[in-house]
Structure 1
Amino acid sequence: MKKYVVKQYQESDYAVWNAFIGQAKNATFLFHRNFMEYHKDRFEDFSLLVYDEEKLIAVLPANRVEETVYSHQGLTYGGLMYSSKINGEIVGDIIESLLFFLKEKGMKFFYFKPIPSFYSSGGNHEIDFFLIKNGAFLDKKEMNLAINLALPLTISKSKLKHFRKIEALDLEIVEEQQLQSFWELVLEPRLLEKYDAKPVHTLQEITKLKSNFPDNIKQFSVYYNDDIIAGITLFETDTVVKSQYGATTKKGEELRALDFLFINLIHKYKREGKQFFDMGIVNDDNEKGYHVGLLKQKEELGCAVYSQDFYKMNLI
């Protein structure tokens, strides 16, 4: 085994980190420091950089809670980011070097949340292999729903039937540069009413993120008689578009405005050559472990089930 030098991220590494994320084979804009640090007051950063002598070859976005390190809790997905020039054997040595570093720092547990496989067209499952080889075990598995846009669409007949009816209505789809209308008039009140919950991002946070990443964060809203009735906030990468937030008012629910918007966006991104439309997980705290209605809704829009795995490792 070759041992690599592992270093904890410091503010002085900002430019080096971001430059690496820009060329890593399995990274997205979520790992840029301008995204990761919007909630830095909520997490103790413990991101790591891996060097082969003077050359940076991998980074691990992470945070710590006491003696536990997480592949970052503040991100939808995480994992180890590395160059396309890195082969499987080197990944194995990187993993062992990281684990050695964590143990040296007195860490007792390590939780690893890999990026879903469809984000990396070049593949990156060697990470999972070497984690398990070093004693990691599957701690949790969730269903991540996504549409492979390279295949023929399989939207259900009932969804398409309602879609054709909705098309006859005077609904307007608008790509908006501001998120205030959707957040304050649709998303926040709907989440509060239905789930007694709030969005993960505040309006101020998502506005700042959109200003930092205008090409990656998009807002599409549906208007009826000049009133906003539904919307979807999207996170775009080069190959994948993810529905980060989707919500509708009661009027929008009556008109099935959210389905109308989803189907239009699915066709839009298929035309534009995106590879996948990610609609996220459907987990729930009920006895089934998933939200039955959400699973059905997403499958009827043409989604298939992909795994979102979570690994745990005891370091002591």
Structure 2
Amino acid sequence: MKNYSIRPYTLEDYAIWNDFISSAKNATFLFHRDFMEYHSDRFQDFSLLVFEGEELVSVLPANRVGDTVFSHQGLTYGGFVFDSKIKLGEVIEITKAVLAFLNQNNITTFQLKLIPSIYNAFFSEEIEYAMFLAKAKLIRRDCLSVIDLTKPFTVTKTRKESIRRGEKNKLEIREELNFNLFWNEILIPNLTKKHNSKPVHTAEEIIRLQQKFPKNIRHFNVYVDNRIVAGTTIFITNAVAHPQYISGNEQKNELGSIDFLYNYLITEVFAAKNFFDFGPSHEGNGKKINEGILFWKESFGAKTTVQDFYEVQTSDYHLLENVML
């Protein structure tokens, strides 16, 4: 049995954290500290580093609220990050060590938000088995609509008609960095009107993030007669293109602007990726499906995969002892 030491992340760990993330089997740019720090004022960071001797073997992006630690609430996905050499027995021991560390630091509950499998460079489901052993409770399951771009997929007749409508209306797609135009003219008014809400990122925040991660964040606007009518911001990893924001004006159905844009992104811009992840179509912690949004995504050929959320009591770390015979 190996001995693991655990300590919270500090600013002095910036370089070794990011270096580990760059070669991990289940990490993306969202785990880079430059991405995580953009909303550091909103969360009490409780990210952890796990060492075997002097070697960093795992990191956990996380934040704390009272006596609960979450795999970071400010990120779309999270959980333990490992390198490609990790073995199942080591993951079980690391999970036990982390739960024990949390328990010793007056954390009673740990909530784990997994990274969807499509984002992993290798099979990476050891942590699911560790959660099973620790009697973790599945508290939420999100359904994601994903196109597997490595296999044939079918676009419906209705969607094709809308794409042709965009062609007839002579829509123009431009990749550009004018986030303010899209945020102020399209995104914010739509979110305010439909949901009385605001984007997770302000325009200033997304601009700063794009400047730090220019290969991972790209933005596209749609114009008719030089007037913006729709747009989307895409987060890009090695294997996946994921729309973080998408919105169109009230003419989007008449113009075919959103369908025209997404056909271009799927078939041309990101055709070489493995997956196009539309994300979830639900409300109420995964228990209610927005049928119209799901129908739209599936009409492009998207199928369903899931993202799981677990809750485990840190006092149950002992359940991970003596597992290997």
TM-score w.r.t. the length of structure 1 is 0.97
Shift of 1:288: 5.7
CA change 1:261–1:294 in 2 (3 A) is: same
* 1:69 aligned partner: 69
Aligned to 1:139: 139
Question: RMSD between aligned alpha carbons?
Answer: 1.4
Please name the residue that 2:42 is paired with: 42
Deviation at 1:226, TM superposition (A): 0.5
Partner AA of 1:47 in structure 2: S
Q: Residue 84 of structure 2 aligns with which residue?
A: 84
Match for residue 17 of structure 2? 17
Matched-pair contact (CA < 8 Å) for 1:62–1:72: yes
2-structure distance, mates of 1:286, 1:91: 28
CA deviations over 1:223-267 (Å, ceiling 9, x no partner): 001100001100001110101000001123421211111111010
Q: Who is 1:153 aligned against?
A: 153
Deviation string 1:39-77 (CA, Å, 9 cap, x unpaired) is: 000000000000010000110000000100000000000
What is the aligned length? Answer: 315
1:75-104 CA distance string (max 9 Å, x none):
000011111011111111111111111111
**Corresponding residue for residue 123 of structure 2:** 123
Q: Contact 2:143/2:286 (CA < 8 Å) preserved in 1?
A: no
Runs of 4+ in 1 over 6 A off after TM superposition: none
Residue 319 (structure 2) aligns with: none
Structure 2 CA distance for partners of 1:213 and 1:13, relative to 1, 3 Å: same
CA distance in 1 between partners of 2:285 and 2:134 (Å): 33
Identity of aligned residues (%): 44
Give CA deviations for 1:2-39 in whole Å, capped at 9, x if unaligned: 33111110111011111111111110000000000100
CA gap of 1:187–1:21, structure 2 versus 1, over 3 A, is same
Alignment of 1:240-279 (within 5 A): 240-271=240-271, 273-279=272-278
Whether the aligned pair in 2 keeps the contact of 1:3 and 1:94 (CA below 8 Å) is: no
Of stretches 151-160 and 182-191 in structure 1, the one that deviates more from structure 2 is 151-160
- Map of 2:320 onto structure 1: none
Task: Give the CA deviation at 1:153.
Answer: 2.1
Decide whether the 8 Å contact of 1:223 with 1:230 is kept in 2.
yes
Cα distance in 1 for partners of 2:286, 2:82 equals 38
Q: In structure 2, what is the Cα distance between the partners aligned to 1:268 and 1:52?
A: 45
Could you list the runs of 5+ residues in structure 2 that have no partner in the other structure? 316-325
* Pair 1:315-2:314 in alignment: yes
Contact 1:140 1:310 in 2 (8 A): yes
Cα shift at 1:287:
10
Of 287-296 and 142-151, the range deviating more from structure 2: 287-296
TM-score by length of 2: 0.94
Unaligned runs of 5+ in 1: none
Check whether the contact 2:140–2:285 (CA below 8 A) recurs between aligned residues: no
Structure-1 residue corresponding to 2:216: 216
